[in-house]
Chain A
Amino acid sequence: MKEVLKGNFATRKKVVAPEAGEDLNTRFEREALKRLGGSIAFVSKKKFLFGLDQAKDEAKEG
């Protein structure tokens, strides 16, 4: 594709193509995601508790 679109002239300054997906919304989203997270994780489609039985056994022994 790059070859097809190549012009028949040379630019004075080096042209740097933006990274894929670097549009304004993507940049906003990436930055926003760093600041807008929740208080703690949520694990989708899993049980409410993990490791309770083992802890209960230890509580009884303790």
Chain B
Amino acid sequence: MKLEAGGDLGRRIASSLGAITLEKVTEAGFANARANAPRIAAGKSIASLVGAPVGQDDSALVIAAGPSIHRFPDTARLIKESGFCGAIVATESAMAWALRHGIVPHLVVTLDPHATRIVRWFGDPTLDDDALRRDDYFARQDMDPRFREDQLRFNRELTTLVDEHGPRMKIAISSSAPELVARRAAESGMDAYWWNPMYDDYDAPESLTRKIHAMNNLPCVNAGGNVGAACWVFAHAVLGKKRVGIVGMDLGYYADTPYSQTQYYKEILTLVGPNGLDDVFIRLVNPHLGREFYTDPAYLWYRDAFVEMAQQAECATYNCTGGGILFGPGIYWSALKDFLAGKA
């Protein structure tokens, strides 16, 4: 069986995404950091989380919002019934799934500077029909199907749910987060800890990372390109956990997912047209499952970054997702049940 197929253009794009992502996020990230400066100055740093008792043992479970947590309906039950007492660290995009299944994360992480989309994961009190018409991202995304249905009603329910549980959750909020997210986290009563994303090599002359650190004195975190990777970095590098399990980090799509439900579909379609899609989407066989998944350039870049980081980390990493393309050196493939029971 051929382990990788198609996606020649996608691979070339992925190899360039480090530089282009830096170009994409720097201006918005710094602008948001300036807008957040009063909250940062009055708030806490993630330095306060180092050594703090988050969870009761040396393990953590990262919950991301990949499609596998919906494909495996037992995921929430397994977590709740396991008696797992480590830290639960969730992406903001997985918070809705966790809360509606009765799982309250100890720590939620957010970092994306996008001005209007990210607040939706928290419940956006200002959402209306006009906003839905302007951006159909949530009607198309594959991360949480509930966000696709009756969006205004679901948004109201989520807003209530986050307001109810906010005071029980910590949030590691990046200085790059948009002001709407910072305000929403504060208004829901979440306990906020601020940090900077690492933008570039802190040893380089004119380093942007050093520049933002000088602006607000916050620690800088190498976030791996996305919020799921950032959760994993927080689990071991900040909370000091030695066993870190991961669910919902597919970094890819099941073969039966239509291209139209992928993260960058509209952008890719605009650029290459319907006949060029197979040159951008990359197909890979997960050797642990003997099953094919496909991915896009951003997810492939995230995967490669994660594999590099996993080999440097002072923790054991167990991918319990059950699907997707996050496999490689430094990552153990494990059943969620085994990880939760300490058998992995």
**Interface code B196-236, partner A: CB below 8 Å = 1, 0 otherwise?**
11111111000001000100011111111111011001001
Most buried by B among A39, A49, A56, A58: A39
In Å, the complex CA distance between A46 and B209 comes to: 12
Determine if B9 and A28 form an interchain contact, defined as CB atoms under 8 angstroms apart: yes
In Å, the complex CA distance between A35 and B298 comes to: 10
Residues in A neighbouring B276, C-beta threshold 8 A: 28
A37 in contact (CB, < 8 A): yes
Determine if A41 and B225 form an interchain contact, defined as CB atoms under 8 angstroms apart: yes
Residues in B neighbouring A50, C-beta threshold 8 A: 198, 202, 209, 213, 219-220, 222
Residues in A neighbouring B223, C-beta threshold 8 A: 40-42
Determine if B176 and A40 form an interchain contact, defined as CB atoms under 8 angstroms apart: yes
Distance (whole angstroms) from the CB of B283 to the closest CB of chain A: 18
Residues in B neighbouring A46, C-beta threshold 8 A: 198, 201-203, 222
B309 in contact (CB, < 8 A): yes
A32 in contact (CB, < 8 A): yes
Residue from the list A31, A47, A59 in contact with B271, Cβ < 8 A = A31
CB<8 Å pairs between A and B, sample of 14: A28-B276, A34-B20, A36-B264, A37-B20, A37-B298, A40-B227, A41-B18, A41-B198, A42-B222, A42-B229, A44-B18, A45-B308, A49-B222, A50-B219
B339 in contact (CB, < 8 A): no
Determine if A47 and B222 form an interchain contact, defined as CB atoms under 8 angstroms apart: yes
Chain B interface main SS type: helix
B29 in contact (CB, < 8 A): yes
Binds A, one of B43-51, B133-141, B329-337: B43-51
Distance (whole angstroms) from the CB of A8 to the closest CB of chain B: 40
Determine if B268 and A43 form an interchain contact, defined as CB atoms under 8 angstroms apart: no
Distance (whole angstroms) from the CB of B272 to the closest CB of chain A: 6
Determine if A35 and B267 form an interchain contact, defined as CB atoms under 8 angstroms apart: yes
Determine if B301 and A40 form an interchain contact, defined as CB atoms under 8 angstroms apart: no
Smallest Cβ-Cβ distance to A25: which chain B residue: B9
Distance (whole angstroms) from the CB of A41 to the closest CB of chain B: 5
Residues in A neighbouring B219, C-beta threshold 8 A: 49-52, 55
Most buried by A among B16, B219, B268, B302: B219
**Interface code B283-311, partner A: CB below 8 Å = 1, 0 otherwise?**
00000000000001110011001001100
Residues in A neighbouring B180, C-beta threshold 8 A: none
Residues in B neighbouring A59, C-beta threshold 8 A: 44-45, 47-48
User: How many A residues have CB within 8 A of the partner chain?
Assistant: 30
B37 in contact (CB, < 8 A): no
**Given the known A-B contacts A29-B16, A48-B221, are A38 and B272 also in contact in the complex, defined by CB atoms under 8 Å?**
no
Smallest Cβ-Cβ distance to B314: which chain A residue: A48
Distance (whole angstroms) from the CB of A45 to the closest CB of chain B: 8
**Given the known A-B contacts A49-B237, A56-B50, are A39 and B221 also in contact in the complex, defined by CB atoms under 8 Å?**
no
B100 in contact (CB, < 8 A): no
Contacting residues of chain A (10-43) with chain B, CB-CB under 8 angstroms: 25, 28-29, 31-43
Residues in B neighbouring A58, C-beta threshold 8 A: 45, 47, 217
Residue from the list A29, A42, A49, A56 in contact with B13, Cβ < 8 A = A29
Smallest Cβ-Cβ distance to A55: which chain B residue: B47
**Given the known A-B contacts A50-B198, A51-B218, are A40 and B50 also in contact in the complex, defined by CB atoms under 8 Å?**
no
Residues in B neighbouring A55, C-beta threshold 8 A: 45-47, 217-219
Residues in B neighbouring A51, C-beta threshold 8 A: 196, 202, 213, 217-220
B85 in contact (CB, < 8 A): no
Determine if A37 and B12 form an interchain contact, defined as CB atoms under 8 angstroms apart: no
Residues in A neighbouring B268, C-beta threshold 8 A: 32, 36
Distance (whole angstroms) from the CB of A30 to the closest CB of chain B: 9
In Å, the complex CA distance between A3 and B29 comes to: 50
Distance (whole angstroms) from the CB of B3 to the closest CB of chain A: 23
Determine if A28 and B25 form an interchain contact, defined as CB atoms under 8 angstroms apart: no
